Structure 1
């Protein structure tokens, strides 16, 4: 067998093997590596690269070595799930740097963190005064977590409006011009509804690259042909115009009515519709 062909077969086989091992280890190892997992990853990569390029090495020995190295993080992760003590030993605990607005100098020295490094890290989070911090900790993966004091935290929608309705993530119902039935069913819709929505916008399925439906049932589109303007759904605009017309019509009836009771009823109705119109404005005028 030619040497280049042997190297190609070795490399392809090792790539498939590493892919299977990565799937077994799970997504956590891809996002946040502990110190031990970092060492294992480097070692496995080194073994795999050497094994694929050096024909003098026996592939059985290399695969055995890779499997042994891969087995350790797989076993330790399973044990760590069941044992808090073992998890603390392997991953470590977070180290608190600031508690109740006070810097814990001993913990900074313990983690070999200078105050300059700490100030640099909080500046990266757009915090320029230590006095703004209520709590801060160095996590086991090396990230710095910071909680601002209540008066320094930005106001959220929930702070202003306590009774906030649940807003769910948008569901992708068309991708690459193909209908996705599962997310469509999750929002309680079907293909006929989707086709009707496209027909309102004078579109065909093959015109749409991506379509998502939000919590309010509004469909947002991205077209395959970027030179075309996105067609707007006129229903919401028409609804808003109708509400404005109702306000005007009832206001006119209140002015022209000869009966005092009718005048009061018309005026009250006009004011109530005005309130409803203003509440719906953010949804109908986007």
Structure 2
């Protein structure tokens, strides 16, 4: 029992020590880390395993070796931030695989890539046709980033000279049937508004798995019971349709009336309403 207690205490200490070390070394996703950091994580994991199981001949030396490896990794990371030369020496440099639409065969050999592997990576970036690619670069993490040719890029609102409304992060206001009051308050809403939205949708709070409010104030609801169809919020669409109807009614009145003053009044107000529609369109229709 004494040995079990010692092992348990050692594992608990090493668990929190390793957690602190890994957090301090960075929060990069595992599939985005460089080979250098991957080796650091693996060596630290092996050292911790040996120490926790008591396989290290000298426990004190084991902790010293772990500390030295950790401090050495932190020092090299710091030098990599300060010096581009050190960064390239440790992590490697980016490699151009496609330039101006042409595959760089020598660079492919340098990174030990075959043509089939390159095409597979391009397909993972939704570039199924090699002729669509203008530029491709392998990062020091091994990830390949692709730049499509200008004529193959998706059209954006900027390309069409159209204004769009800014989008902020949606706030989760219901989670697992529980209202998150802090999230509601952060966007200037309350439970009364939430209950009204749920009532208009015909659902109860205890049947809501996730509820999110987007930047436009629309509430999206996902229910536990997937058989129930929740109507999508159409407040913006209805408002746009109402304003558009007012505009068309004013134009119709201006054409139908025979009174010159009334005709000018309807036309003037129709132009004002058209300006309102142009300003609100990016916010109501997106």
Note closer, same or farther for the CA distance 1:120–1:199 as it changes in structure 2 (3 Å cut).
closer
The range that moved more, 55-64 or 229-238, is 229-238
SS state at 1:61 partner: helix
1:136 aligned onto 2:132: no
Offset at residue 130 of structure 1 (A): 2.7
Offset at residue 55 of structure 1 (A): 6.4
Tell me, yes or no, if the aligned pair for 2:98 and 2:136 is still in contact at 8 Å. Answer: yes
CA offset digits 1:111-154 (Å, max 9, x no partner): 22233322232233232333222111221111112211111112
Q: Give 1:51-130 correspondences, 5 Å limit.
A: 51-54=51-54, 57-130=57-130
With the length of structure 2 as denominator, give the TM-score of the two structures.
0.77
Offset at residue 214 of structure 1 (A): 3.0
| Aligned equivalents of 1:112, 1:153: Cα separation in 2 | 29
Tell me, yes or no, if the aligned pair for 1:94 and 1:140 is still in contact at 8 Å. Answer: yes
Q: Which residue of 2 aligns with 1:200?
A: 196
SS state at 1:65 partner: helix
| Aligned equivalents of 1:273, 1:253: Cα separation in 2 | 14
Tell me, yes or no, if the aligned pair for 2:197 and 2:219 is still in contact at 8 Å. Answer: no
| Aligned equivalents of 1:162, 1:274: Cα separation in 2 | 16
CA offset digits 1:24-53 (Å, max 9, x no partner): 112137453222221221122122222222
Note closer, same or farther for the CA distance 1:174–1:22 as it changes in structure 2 (3 Å cut).
same
Tell me, yes or no, if the aligned pair for 2:137 and 2:144 is still in contact at 8 Å. Answer: yes
Q: Which residue of 2 aligns with 1:156?
A: 156
| Aligned equivalents of 1:18, 1:255: Cα separation in 2 | 79
Q: Give 1:191-230 correspondences, 5 Å limit.
A: 193-201=189-197, 210-216=210-216, 218-222=217-221, 226=225
Offset at residue 77 of structure 1 (A): 0.9
Q: Which residue of 1 aligns with 2:34?
A: 34
Q: Which residue of 1 aligns with 2:182?
A: 180
Query: Aligned pair count?
Result: 279
Offset at residue 180 of structure 1 (A): 2.0
With the length of structure 1 as denominator, give the TM-score of the two structures.
0.77
Offset at residue 63 of structure 1 (A): 2.2
Q: Give 1:225-264 correspondences, 5 Å limit.
A: 226=225, 236=236, 239-240=239-240, 242-243=242-243, 246-247=246-247, 250=250, 253-254=253-254, 257-264=257-264
CA offset digits 1:210-269 (Å, max 9, x no partner): 5544333x1424467657775877865764564366346535644663412312432553
Tell me, yes or no, if the aligned pair for 1:136 and 1:147 is still in contact at 8 Å. Answer: yes
The range that moved more, 41-50 or 111-120, is 111-120
Tell me, yes or no, if the aligned pair for 2:173 and 2:179 is still in contact at 8 Å. Answer: no
